[in-house]
Amino acid sequence: MFLSPFPENENRSVDIHARMAVSGTPWYQGMRQECFDIVQNCAAKSKLVTQDRVSIDVFLHELLDAKICFSPFGYGEVCWRDFEAICTGSLLFKQDMSHVISSPDIFIPYETYVPLAWDLSDFDEKVEYYLTNTAERMRIAHNAFDRLHNYFIKDEFLQDMRPFLERLGL
């Protein structure tokens, strides 16, 4: 999907996509339940997608129709959903990732994603801001997509993997 053009969709009907599992180990369940509850507090003001498992095709179709994708931490900080949000043109909302090093760096605050406080105390405020500031929301979503698009187009992934591939004799 990153080899294709940015998925333009000015008429996205879902405000917040936050489909997430809550069950798991006790600490995971507690953390995810807090995230789920905070998202549900937006239900009165925003159109949400939050519950039930769906196929990957349905999931990606939903993201293509979502303005914001909330990707909370799971069993680690970086999640598949981060990349799924970016490739579908949805604005990535995630707890602050300033402690993470990635290649390419897709966690540049207010340039490629919107950082949230780890306790999500700023969630409502940031949702309201980015739902009402379409140009800013789209600027950040485009930046994130372009970063990954260029990473693949310019073969930077292969360059990053070169030492590993050479060790394998490939």
Segment 9-27 shows an average pLDDT of: 90
Helical spans, DSSP H, in the chain: 26-40, 56-64, 80-87, 123-132, 134-153, 156-167
Please state the domain extents for the chain: 14-167
Predicted pLDDT of residue 23: 87
Segment 5-19 shows an average pLDDT of: 92
How confident is the model over 69-114, as pLDDT tens digits?
A: 999 998 899 999 999 999 999 999 999 999 999 999 999 999 999 9
Predicted pLDDT of residue 72: 95
Q: How far is CA 36 from CA 57, 85, 107, 170, in A?
A: 23, 18, 22, 44
Indicate whether 22 pLDDT > 90. no
pTM higher than 0.85: yes
- CATH fold, domain 14-167, is Rossmann fold (3.40.50)
How confident is the model over 128-145, as pLDDT tens digits?
A: 999 999 999 999 999 999
Segment 4-19 shows an average pLDDT of: 91
Peptide bond into 5 cis (omega under 30): no
- Report how far residue 56's alpha carbon sits from residue 68's, in angstroms, rounded to the nearest whole number: 18
Helical spans, DSSP H, in 2-120: 26-40, 56-64, 80-87
How confident is the model over 26-75, as pLDDT tens digits?
A: 998 999 999 999 999 887 788 888 878 899 999 999 999 999 999 999 88
Q: At 42, is the secondary structure helix, strand, or coil?
A: coil
For residue 68, the tally of other CB atoms under 10 A from its CB is: 25
On whether the CB atoms of residues 82 and 106 are closer than 8 A, the answer is: yes
In DSSP terms, which residues pair with 17 in a beta bridge?
49, 69
Predicted pLDDT of residue 74: 87
